């Protein structure tokens, strides 16, 4: 009886190791998969990204509200230069935000964004955005940051979004940690040959 338990225990151990490895691989893939899912579906208010608009412009308008925040002790002021715009659905539009670094050192920030209501994320499409890259502001520097976008006309054809008349575009900037300087290595010692 104990002889048959050893192969069974070995198979069980291998199965458990396989399960642990599979769970580890799945957890590693979860973040990129979630990011892809949000960008593809607009889930959780994630806006879409495109190189250009569809070209279709409806004779209907939608109101866009703009919101700006800073987080994590970032020494910037960050605000939209317009609080609200009424745009034609499908029309390519540019809005701007303004940021000022109030510190005495260069500061790099990275913006996270979303739209509300969440269901509108699948139809709010950015063509250009300061949020695609990190932004570095010098001490006392003020910059204007554009975002070029359109609202996809499909928003009016989707029963879940056909009654959406206002979308809020919100950004929050967080400070990115400065890269740490690498310690210099001592010069290599030459071997002494006698």
Q: Give first-to-last CA distance, the chain, whole Å.
A: 70
pLDDT tens for each residue of the chain, 194 residues long: 555 667 787 787 787 787 777 766 665 554 444 444 444 444 444 556 667 777 899 999 999 999 999 998 899 999 999 999 999 999 999 999 999 999 999 999 999 998 999 999 899 999 998 888 899 999 999 999 999 999 999 999 999 999 999 999 999 999 987 655 555 545 555 555 54
Nearest to 68, CA basis, from 174, 168, 171? 171
DSSP string, 65-109: EEEEEEETT--EEEEES-SEEEEETT--EEEEEEEEE-SSS-EEE
The pLDDT value recorded for residue 73 is 87
Where do runs of H (alpha helix) occur along the chain? 2-41
Is residue 151 within 8 Å of residue 167, measured between CB atoms? yes
Is residue 162 within 8 Å of residue 156, measured between CB atoms? yes
| Strand ranges across the sheet with 48-49 | 48-49, 124-129, 142-151, 93-101, 76-80
Kindly list the domain boundaries of the chain, sorted by start residue.
Answer: 1-41, 45-175
Q: Which fold has domain 45-175?
A: Ctag/Cox11 (Pfam 04442) (2.60.370)
Tell me the C-alpha distance between 36 and 53, whole Å: 21
The pLDDT value recorded for residue 90 is 95
What b/e string do you get for 15-37 counting C-beta neighbours within 10 Å, with b at 16 or more? eeeeeeeeeeeeeeeeeeeeeee
């Amino acid at each position: 009886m104990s002889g048959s338990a050893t192969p069974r225990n070995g198979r069980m151990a291998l199965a458990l190791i396989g399960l642990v490895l599979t769970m580890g691989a799945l957890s590693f893939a979860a973040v990129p998969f979630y990011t892809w899912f949000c960008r593809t579906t607009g889930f959780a208010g994630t806006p879409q990204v495109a190189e250009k608009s569809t070209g279709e412009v409806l004779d209907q308008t939608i109101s866009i509200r703009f919101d700006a925040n800073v987080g994590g002790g970032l020494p910037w002021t960050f605000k939209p230069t317009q609080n609200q715009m009424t745009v034609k659905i499908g029309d390519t539009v540019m809005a701007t935000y303004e940021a000022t670094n109030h510190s005495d050192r260069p500061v790099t920030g990275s913006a996270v964004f979303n739209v509300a209501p969440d269901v509108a994320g699948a139809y709010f499409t950015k063509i250009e955005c300061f949020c695609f890259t990190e932004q570095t502001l010098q001490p006392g520097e003020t910059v204007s940051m554009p975002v070029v976008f359109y609202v996809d006309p499909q928003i009016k054809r989707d029963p879940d979004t056909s009654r959406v008349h206002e979308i809020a575009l919100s950004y929050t900037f967080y400070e990115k940690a400065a890269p740490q300087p690498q310690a210099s290595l001592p010069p290599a010692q030459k071997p002494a040959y006698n």
